[in-house]
Amino acid sequence: MIPYSRQSINQEDIDEVIRVLQSSHLTQGAEVELFENAICEYIGCRYAVTFNSATSALLAAYSVAGIKEDDEIITSPISFVATSNMFISLGAKPVWCDVKLDGNIDERFIERLITPKTKAIVPVDFAGKPVEIQKINEIAKKHDLLVIQDSSHAFGSEVEGKKIGTFSDMTIFSFHAIKPLTTGEGGCIVTDNEEFAQSLKLFRSHGIVKKQYWNSDMIALGHNFRLTEFAAVLGRSQLKRIDEFLEKREVIANYYDERFQGHNLFTTVKPDMNTRSSRHLYPIVLSPALACPKENIFAELQDKGVGVQVHYKPIYQNSFYKKMFGETHLHVSDDFYRCELSIPCHQEMSHEDAKFVADTFLEVIEKYSYRGCSF
């Protein structure tokens, strides 16, 4: 089966990890710092603080932003649950804003959700396609809110030639195995704000600062959210090939775009002018008539070796959130979940693989085209 996404590890990655495993130092140290410097250089930001996952990074970002009990955060429901979960663990409340047909937060609806309790806007660059970050920043500035971007999908994505990570107060990337760049598990926050960077480093490592000789002092509450040295060296080795990865996914996505152009049973998500998407996912939005047999389409594609997946069940539809906040219905988000399928798009795929996926997908979709229902 061709998975919807997967990592790409070469011999150099392996050699580098082995080199570090054979060294005297395995936990956060010089390699982590080298990786963070390399991230800053690639993104074009002042500070990069790595974490053992993007989930830890989200908790850290929200914490140093001062988000606390009863605060409200405006965010997207079309995301992995961690984006909202980490507010909950601080006692804050996610306020979900509906999305657009591309799965990104609909910036036109943000302002009406702002209350005196709102502290931040947390958009998600779905599938790697940048959100309308300039418009979101304007709204945030007008209402004195922070913008914390969950860019777990969007390492390497750009707006007007500038990398995602240079636009918001803090930007989070995930280095999970299937994300654009991997350290196995891992994540990172980039920022230009020195105070945030210092606080993030404390939060990551027990809130302890070193003093002279044996003396250290714990000055804030912290965790152990550190990355290992061998994960960091893997990340730095991967970073050398990130543009190659992005290029390969772009070629596959462009091929799909061409094959699927003008199709009336589904639409695809196109990057906006003057932007670049990491193409972390290739989402297909089925026409509503096909959403009913989506389970059958999904199963048949998987049977035929096409590893499709669905991104995402709106966060508010999970039982945990229903218990906490009752039923939530956002029109476009609900429809998006009914209609979305992500087809394989990653750097380990050959052109033949992409052709196989496109052929199989079209064959299955056309087979179901007359069996749909409406809702």
Ligand X SMILES: *Cc1c(COP(=O)(O)O)cnc(C)c1O
Which residues contribute to the site for ligand X (CB under 6 A)? 53-55, 79-80, 82-83, 124, 150, 152-153, 174, 176, 187
Question: Which is nearer to ligand X, 140 or 315 (by Cβ)?
Answer: 315
Instruction: Please give the structure tokens belonging to residue 271.
Output: 């990057």
What is the smallest separation between the CB atom of 148 and ligand X, expressed in angstroms?
12
What is the smallest separation between the CB atom of 118 and ligand X, expressed in angstroms?
21
Question: Which is nearer to ligand X, 253 or 364 (by Cβ)?
Answer: 253
CA dist., res. 127 & res. 49, Å (int): 23
Question: Which is nearer to ligand X, 152 or 275 (by Cβ)?
Answer: 152
What is the smallest separation between the CB atom of 312 and ligand X, expressed in angstroms?
8
Phi and psi at 219, nearest 5°, equal: -110, -10
Q: In which order are the strands placed within the sheet that holds 47-51?
A: 47-51, 187-191, 170-174, 146-150, 118-122, 72-75, 93-96
Kindly write down the DSSP assignment for every residue of 38-84, as one continuous string.
HHHHHHT-SEEEEES-HHHHHHHHHHHTT--TT-EEEE-SSS-THHH
Question: Which is nearer to ligand X, 55 or 228 (by Cβ)?
Answer: 55
CA dist., res. 166 & res. 190, Å (int): 8
Helices H / strands E in the chain, number of each: 13, 15
- Measured in whole angstroms, the distance separating CA 193 from the mean position of its chain's CA atoms is 21
Question: Which is nearer to ligand X, 95 or 290 (by Cβ)?
Answer: 95
What is the smallest separation between the CB atom of 173 and ligand X, expressed in angstroms?
9
What is the smallest separation between the CB atom of 227 and ligand X, expressed in angstroms?
11
What is the smallest separation between the CB atom of 152 and ligand X, expressed in angstroms?
3
Question: Which is nearer to ligand X, 126 or 260 (by Cβ)?
Answer: 126
Question: Which is nearer to ligand X, 80 or 167 (by Cβ)?
Answer: 80
Instruction: Please give the structure tokens belonging to residue 323.
Output: 């218990």
What is the smallest separation between the CB atom of 51 and ligand X, expressed in angstroms?
8
Phi and psi at 340, nearest 5°, equal: -85, 140
Question: Which is nearer to ligand X, 300 or 340 (by Cβ)?
Answer: 340
Closest CA to 337 of 23, 161, 101: 101
159 and 21 in contact (C-beta within 8 Å)? no
CA dist., res. 163 & res. 155, Å (int): 8
